Amino acid sequence: MTTKLSSAPLAVKSLLMCMLLMSSLCGCEREKRQYRTDPPVAAALDEVAPMPNGIAGAPPDAYVAAGEPYKSNAYDLSQGKQLYSEFNCSGCHAEGGGASGPAFLNGWWRYGPQAVSVFVSIRDGRPRGMPAFRSRLTTEQIWQLAGYVQTIGAYSAKTSAPGRNDAMQSRPSENRSPAKSSYASDQWPYSAAQ
């Protein structure tokens, strides 16, 4: 191979070199972080239309128009992860395994896996203990948190991930479809035992 390449004409070699350099340029594009949402857009992000039973429903137009960033943007997922620990979600849900609150890791969602359901659960609270965070978090923060909670209970791997844990890992990391691993185990609520 080396001898072949060294005997190739100069034009071919320089062409190959150019292609190599150009392909390395692809690595320069960085994910866009949106630190600031325009206030009207932020207000519009609150306009979810859940079904009457509080499960699923239509996401806000602004959320769809923005390309559903809170599901897949690594910065938003990281912010969500930070909020998860700062606002003591782990106090009830632990690291996704559940404690006094339900688990996320088993992939079983009481109110459905849709982003709207998770958003409404956090914003308005749910019966039997889930408090409302409407006056504690901004709408953007609730979306970031909802996006992160969805990744903990995800069945399919994501290409984006939040920052790594500082502490010891107690479950598969967020971009490795944590719920899928418990689906394979006996922990699944539909198993014969239940």
Partner 1 sequence: MALLRRAIALSVCFTCPGCAGWQSALDPHGQQARGLEGLIWTFIWVAAAVWISVMAVLAIALSRKSGRGAGNERRMRVTVGGAVAGTAAIVLALTIISFLSTRLVSSEASHPLEIRVRGYQWWWEVTYLDARAERVFTTANEIHIPVNRPVRLQLSAADVIHSFWAPNLAGKQDLIPGRENTLTFSAQQPGTYRAQCAEFCGVQHAHMALLVVAETPDAFEHWRQSQLSPAASPTDPEQAEGRKVFTSKPCASCHTIQGTSASASIGPDLTHLASRSYIAAGLLQNTRGSLAAWIADPQTIKPGNNMPNVPLTANELRAVSAYLAALK
Q: Is 2 in the site for partner 1 (CB under 8 A)?
A: no
Q: What CA–CA distance (Å, rounded) separates 154 from 148?
A: 10
With beta carbons less than 8 A apart as the criterion, state whether 97 and 107 touch.
Answer: no
DSSP 107: -
Q: H or E stretch including 44?
A: helix 39-44
Contact at 8 Å (CB) between 62 and 44? yes
CB of 39 to partner 1, least distance (A): 6
Q: Helix, strand, or coil here: 126?
A: strand
3-state SS, residue 66 = coil
> Closest separation between CB of residue 144 and partner 1, Å?
9
Q: Which of 44, 56, 74, 82 binds partner 1 (CB under 8 A)?
A: 82
Restricted to residues 8-67, the positions that interact with partner 1 (CB under 8 A) are 33, 35-37, 39, 42-43
In the complex, least distance from residue 185 CB atom to partner 1, rounded to whole angstroms: 32
What does the DSSP 8-state code read for residue 99?
A: S
E strands, the chain, in order: 49-50, 57-58
Q: Is 73 in the site for partner 1 (CB under 8 A)?
A: no
Of 121 and 141, CB closest to partner 1: 141
Nearer to partner 1, 13 or 136 (CB): 136
Q: Which is nearer to partner 1, 117 or 144 (CB)?
A: 144
Binding site for partner 1 (CB under 8 A): 33, 35-37, 39, 42-43, 79, 82, 86-87, 135-138, 140-141, 166
